[in-house]
Structure 1
Amino acid sequence: MSIPVVDFSTYSLRERDVPEEQLQKLAEELKKAFVEIGFVLLTNTGITQEEVDQVMDISLKFLLQPNELKKPFIRQSFPNNLNHGWVPMETEKLSPKRPADLKEAFNTASFHPDIKWPSSDAVKGFKEIHTSFFQRCKELSLRILRVMALSLGLDPDVFLRAHLLIGTDENATTMRSLYYPPVKTAKENQLRCAEHSDYGSITLVFQGSDGLEVCTRTGDYISAPNVPGAVLINIADLMQRWTADQFISVSHRVLLPTAGFHSTRQSVAFFVHPDNEALITSCDGSNKYPPIKAGDYVTQKFNESYKQN
């Protein structure tokens, strides 16, 4: 089994006013991928490799700086949005069965005017590049959510109405620039990124190299390859609840590099969440899961993954 590849050119960011009948084939392909494996590789989305390279380059310049230069931007130091900012190595613990992850990140989660951004000459343009790429990912996400609704025979705007506040502090959508440094030593059972499922609606992942693995319905892990120009999309927990398990949110991980091979890895992940006050209920009316506010769910998950390690 492998991750399906779907051509998104019909509804790419370059297209406008696409008739819904033209989206039907695309909807069927996405539905098949999300029902069977929970992941898909989208090509021809309208987001260019040059845009991806630009945000990865400026992120790496920031993350390779000494920790004392990153500390002023540490996560939880911005009162209006505690998820915004720098996440140091071994801060996040995505599996209770493993030590904290061997990765660091910068979370772009707020555009509040009080937010302080990296602005030294070494990372010139950091805010502008991250803001622009966030907006591009938002636009693509909304298109994907619309096609997903069509694929289930729902009102095409049903998911969009719960994502009106992306980019504000009333919505937890976050763009994470992730860096996995060379691994010289590791604790027992430690991974670069432990097995986990994502929390929100969908996630967009732009990979700089291979390394991500996805758990199939049979329990086997398969590679989610890096395909230049493609965007890896996966279903997250709230979307699985929303669709009463029609779309599946599956576990994925990043292993340590091969013994003796001290490679690095970079990725940018755009975690799409419904608005904090959106009440997530099964869209088929089955009440398979109890209703929950999106903000309450993500807060619960953050408390688990960022508790004292």
Structure 2
Amino acid sequence: MSIPVIDFSSYSLRKEDVSEEEMLGLSQQLKAAFTEVGFVFLENTGITQEEADRVLDLSHEFFLQPDELKQPFSSKKCVINPNHGWLSVAAEKLNPCRPGDIKESFNLSSLHPDIKWPTDGLTDFKEIHTSFFHRCKELSLRVLRLMAHSLGLDPEVFLSAHRLVGTDGNSSLLRTLYYPPVNYEEVKEGQMRCGEHTDFGSITLVFQKNKGLQVLGLSGEYIDVPLIPGAILINIADLMQRWTSDRFISVEHRSLLPDGGDSETRQSAAFFLYPDNETQITCLDGSDKYSPVNAGFYIKECFKAVAVEN
């Protein structure tokens, strides 16, 4: 199995319109990828490698600071939004059967004016992360439009359920991740950088700085995800699979410990698109394959399930 690569230039963020012929071609390619693999690479989206690198480089500066300087921005201290802010190493275990993941992250999940942002030595941290959040949002909505088109649905079926992205009525987030050097003498049995899991919401956009991600193939074996400069990796998440009654598939993925020595690090960023909190997710084909679920409640419970109590 390989992950398909699609040229998205005809519906790039640099373009205002897309022809019906181009829409049909793109939507059919996406449908094939999301029904057979669950993942796809998009090239020429309008979001450049330079934009992604700027966010990753700035977040890297933040992660390299001592923990005491990052602590004021901990998600545990964010009263406005508990999913916004810094999470320390092993603060999550995405596979609940394993020890805490050897990664740390910073979540942009709220644009509330009273949110406290890192500033010390980190020029334009808020502005750069916020701008990238909006760029990811716009690309995600274009992908949703194509996904609806591929299933013969009115695009508003998906778009109307994501109108509040960037507000307190929606939990979508931009997450930058840092996988630090690994001390193998301290690693617990079964511990990974990121345990096997599926994502929670609608779709996820992934920006890789280094290799290390693996995706579960149809054969039941994990495959290494290649690094394609400038391309964005996009995958289906759980609520979208429920919504489409398994037409689009949400696939397990993970990040193993490095095999290049304990000094090897990894960076990535992911934009997790979720439906608006009050959206009721019901099977679009009218079946009862999945029972209806409130998106906000579902996402909240997923976060609770992966959190490590310190």
- Whether TM exceeds 0.5 here: the answer is yes
Q: Deviations over 1:66-93 (max 9, x none)?
A: 0000000001312221100000000001
Q: Report the secondary structure of 2:130's partner residue.
A: helix
Tell me, in whole angstroms, the C-alpha distance in 1 between the residues paired with 2:26 and 2:261.
43
How many Å separate the matches in 2 of 1:232 and 1:307? Answer: 28
- Partners of 1:80 and 1:169 within 8 A in 2: no
Aligned position for 2:194: 193
Question: Match for residue 246 of structure 2?
Answer: 245
- 1:153 is matched with 152
Q: Verify the 8 A CA contact 1:119 1:125 in the aligned structure 2.
A: yes
Q: Determine whether 1:256 maps to 2:257.
A: yes
TM-score (norm 1): 0.98
Match of residue 282 from structure 1: 283
Match of 1:78 in 2: 78
- Counterpart secondary structure, 2:275: coil
Matches within 5 A, 1:37-76: 37-76=37-76
Q: Secondary structure at 2:137's aligned position in 1?
A: helix
Which residue is equivalent to 2:168?
Answer: 169
* Equivalent-residue separation in structure 2 for 1:237 and 1:227 (angstroms): 25
Match of 1:232, SS state, is strand
Name the TM-score, length of structure 2 as normaliser: 0.97
Give the equivalent residue in structure 2 for 1:203. 204
CA-based RMSD of the aligned residues comes to 1.0
Note if contact 1:3-1:37 (Cα within 8 Å) is conserved in structure 2.
yes
Contact 1:201 1:239 in 2 (8 A): yes
Cα distance in structure 2, aligned partners of 1:166 and 1:21? 29
Name the counterpart of 1:106. 106
1:229 aligns to 2:225 (yes or no): no
Q: Which range moves more in the overlay, 260-269 or 47-56?
A: 260-269
Q: How far apart are residue 21 of structure 1 and its match?
A: 3.1
1:219, CA displacement in angstroms?
1.1
Give the deviation of 1:259 after TM superposition. 5.9
Separation in structure 2 between the aligned mates of residue 12 and residue 76 of structure 1, nearest angstrom = 37
List runs of 5+ in structure 1 lacking aligned partners. none
**What is the one-letter code of the residue matched to 2:5?**
V
Q: Per the alignment, in what secondary structure is the counterpart of residue 123 of structure 1? A: coil
Matches within 5 A, 1:121-136: 122-136=121-135
Q: Is the 8 A contact 1:165 1:275 kept in 2?
A: yes
| Matched-pair identity in % | 61
Distance 1:145 1:16 in 2: 16
1:288 CA drift (Å): 1.1
The residue that corresponds to 1:35 in the other structure is 35
Cα distance in 1 between the residues matched to 2:166 and 2:8: 24
Q: Deviations over 1:187-246 (max 9, x none)?
A: 111000000000000000000011100001221111111111000000000000000000
**How many Å separate the matches in 2 of 1:165 and 1:263?**
39
- Give, in angstroms, the shift of residue 261 of structure 1: 4.8
Cα distance in 2 for residues equivalent to 1:118 and 1:243 = 39
Residues paired across the two proteins, number? 308
Other-structure match for 2:307:
306
Q: CA deviation at 1:260?
A: 2.9
Q: CA deviation at 1:148?
A: 0.4
| Counterpart residue identity of residue 142, structure 2 | R
Aligned counterpart, 1:15: 15
2:156 aligned counterpart, secondary structure: coil
Separation in 2, partners of 1:72, 1:229 = 34
Separation (CA, whole Å) in 2 of partners of 1:59 and 1:45 = 23
1:15 match: secondary structure: coil
User: Which residue pairs with 1:87 in the alignment?
Assistant: 87
Task: Work out the CA distance in 1 between the residues paired with 2:130 and 2:265.
Answer: 25
> Counterparts of 1:156 and 1:110 in 2: how far apart (Å)?
26
Q: Is the 8 A contact 1:2 1:223 kept in 2?
A: no
Offset of residue 262 of structure 1: 2.5
2:254 alignment partner, SS class: strand
Whether the aligned pair in 1 keeps the contact of 2:11 and 2:17 (CA below 8 Å) is no
| Structure 2 residues without counterparts, runs of 5 or longer | none
